Amino acid sequence: MSDSKKSDVRVVPLLPLREIIVFPNMVLPLFVGREKSINALEEAMGADKEIVLSAQKKAKTNDPTPDDIFSVGTVAVIDQLFQLPDGTVKVLVRGKERVEIKDYVENDSFLQVKVASIAEKVDPEKDIDAIMKLVRETFDTYVNLNKRIPPEMLSLVAKIESPGRLADTIVAQLALKLRDKQDILENDDAASRLERLDSLMKEEIEILQVERKIRSRVKKQMEKSQKDFYEGQSGGKDLTENEFKNEIDELEERISQKELTEEAEERLARELKKLKMMSPMSAEATVVRNYIDWVLSLPWGDLTEDRLNIKEAHETLESDHYGLAKPKERILEYLSVQSLVDTPRGPILCFVGPPGVGKTSLGRSIATATNRQFVRISLGGVRDEAEIRGHRRTYIGALPGKIIQSLRKAGSSNPVFLFDEVDKMSTDFRGDPSSALLEVLDPEQNATFNDHYLDLDYDLSKVMFICTANNLHGIPAPLQDRMEIIQIPGYTDYEKLQISRNYLIPKQLENNGISDVEVSFTSSAISRVINQYTREAGVRSLEREIGSVCRKIAREVVENGKDQKFKVDTKAIPKHLGPPKFSHGKIEESDHIGMTNGMAWTQFGGVMLVSEVSVMAGKGKFIITGKLGDVMQESAQAAMSYVRSRALNLGLTADFHQKVDIHVHFPEGALPKDGPSAGITMATSIVSALTNTPVKHDVAMTGEITLRGRVLPIGGLKEKVMAAHRGGIKTVIIPSENTKDIRDIPKSIRKKLEIIAVEHMDEVLTHALRLDNPEAFAAQLSKPLLPPDVRQEEGKVVH
């Protein structure tokens, strides 16, 4: 080869390439990211725009040396160069001529080489025209087999007269190995290159022909398999009209045997007539068949027989749930009416209460007690009206709504239907599901409920609908108006104790495989778990804690055998469950000035709430802290206004508030508190702090205060009194209008507490403050209110 090389040597920047060979007359874009390569491009752009392109022997080499780069490459001209945002460079190069790298010039910034051009030659003993014709024909065959090469290349190749350029143009289009392309680049004999190209293309053509044969054979095999499958499905022949006719006959027989409404019979007759006129393989025929099947699968007029034995139903309800007297009583009333009336309407009840009190499980118990099927639909997060009423048949994949689907699943038209979490529904562009429920839950309308998919009236009047919710705020008023709301309050400690003994402990003993082991829980141990390890209105956490104790016992049984007795008492609870998680309020051991025991209701039950007041010399600031809500802050203002209006009766000067700062605080400041029921508690603490009179430490109170001192009723009395009893309170002061709620408090607790009903704040102070002479104090408070401008110089509160 050396004889054919020119003697001129020049210095040119070098750009090493990965997995790419650039031939003369070849134009292509390159993406350059290595620092030395970018520097080489910049050097070339500053000179004559020429750069040597030579491939690396190994593509993974990041910093190639002269030994890593082929010695023959191509000098290319840079036509365009772009700097990309990520720091890389896009360059468009055009191959110019073959060169041989003679030597490397030392340069730290980029690779620079001395190159000499390689002269083109043609062997005169070979018939170059015949070789070029043969190569064109072979290339034509290759292009017809390889669809990745555009057909326009054939016309381009036909116009090339130079044998060297013909070889370089064709080789650039072939998917050859890097070594094969480099061998062709290093070959300076055009005839030899063309012969080598012809050989390589014929090898590729053989491979492409084999691939085409394999694809053709696989396609035929798949078509044959599909044909065999369909023939097997149709008994050795294509789907015929006879089979379609048999299917229609079967549908006609089902329609004749099914008890349907007149409207449904007419609709099915029309749909069946339409089906007979359709092709069995058409998409519309499938839609019609699905519709007919849905209508026939519904329990039109199929009813289960109710259990009308009130005693048996009552025993079933009592065996599943403790307490919950109001919902149980309502179900028994319905069964009583049903035994007297031929066609009673199904009740529509809504159980509202905190999580874990048994709302959902009570629905299942009602189904068992009434001998009905049970269907549950969770509405939490439902935001599409079609979930309730279905999609119209015009939509692809349309189905009936959840109600019709559930009735089909239940197999009867009078199941117990539970809409769970009805307050968690949402609304978006697809509609309002709560509005769709208005028809379902309206006794005057649900006898003709119309699902969008069926487009038929379906009678839901015999269904017993039960809804559950945690609160009424998330239920629209029109929907509330259609339901009978039954409040299910949180369980008291006594009720939780009974539920644990009768339900939770036996269940957990069985679940943990120790029902045949002698395990006993003391009442004090269960109470400790309730008070110190759970804080909830229901019993879910309580059941988990009891289950945790049972698992510890199960491990001991496995390790030491079943021949032992396990007694779980108060001392064993921390051993099994660790240190207490919660602390319930306990009363102070002595009387304090400015500190009053209040009672509050939370979703987890009742709690003790202490009101503290401190009086300091100041300029009349009234400070309220403890993360209190707006209502509670306004209640504190009302309490302060009452005290100011009674200043003279309490032995205070009329302008006392201008000389002192009063700070009202509720401990546990991280917990939000709100509501008006702490009004009399704050008023008592303020009076105690201003008059320097202690408050009885064993007295707790609840009630809203007005500016005139009236004590207004509050809610959650049962839970509040239970919390007071748990905290060691002896006397409870409540509004007189709440006396009707005292009957809800268990008798065992009522016997241990003195419950005082009051109408006015003056009575509260008389009972709550530690007075030497209560009668005289009461008489002083009962004096008529004096005008604000009157000063009482000698008036002193009587102790």
Q: Enumerate the active-site residues.
A: 677, 720
Tokens standing for residue 212 = 């085409």
**DSSP assignment string, 31-47:** EE-SHHHHHHHHHHHHT
> How many CB atoms neighbour CB 444 within 10 A?
10
CB 185 within 8 A of CB 23: yes
How far is residue 360's CA from residue 540's CA, in Å, rounded to a whole number? 13
Q: Is 394 exposed, middle or buried (0-12, 13-18, 19+ CB in 10 A)?
A: exposed
How far is residue 372's CA from residue 331's CA, in Å, rounded to a whole number? 13
Q: Where are the beta strands (DSSP E) in 355-483?
A: 374-378, 416-420, 449-450, 457-458, 464-469
Residues constituting the chain: 799
SS3 content of the chain, % helix, strand, coil (to 5): 45, 20, 35
How far is residue 77's CA from residue 95's CA, in Å, rounded to a whole number? 7
Nearest to 23 by CA among 119, 122, 152, 164: 164
How far is residue 787's CA from residue 571's CA, in Å, rounded to a whole number? 62
Q: Write a three-state SS string for 708-770.
A: CCEEECCCCHHHHHHHHHHCCCCEEEEEHHHHHHHHHCCHHHHCCCEEEEECEHHHHHHHHEC
Tokens standing for residue 50 = 């020429």
Nearest to 541 by CA among 506, 586, 491: 491
Give 247's contacts (C-beta < 8 A, 6+ positions apart).
280, 289
Residue located via tokens 């959650």: 716
Q: Is residue 755 helix, strand or coil?
A: strand
Query: What letter would DSSP give residue 281?
Result: T
Helix H segments across 116-177? 128-145, 152-158, 163-171
How far is residue 238's CA from residue 779's CA, in Å, rounded to a whole number? 106
The β-bridge partners of 612 are 595, 665
Nearest to 391 by CA among 508, 499, 294: 294
CB 521 within 8 A of CB 504: no
Tokens standing for residue 35 = 């620092």
**DSSP assignment string, 143-156:** HHH-TTS-THHHHH
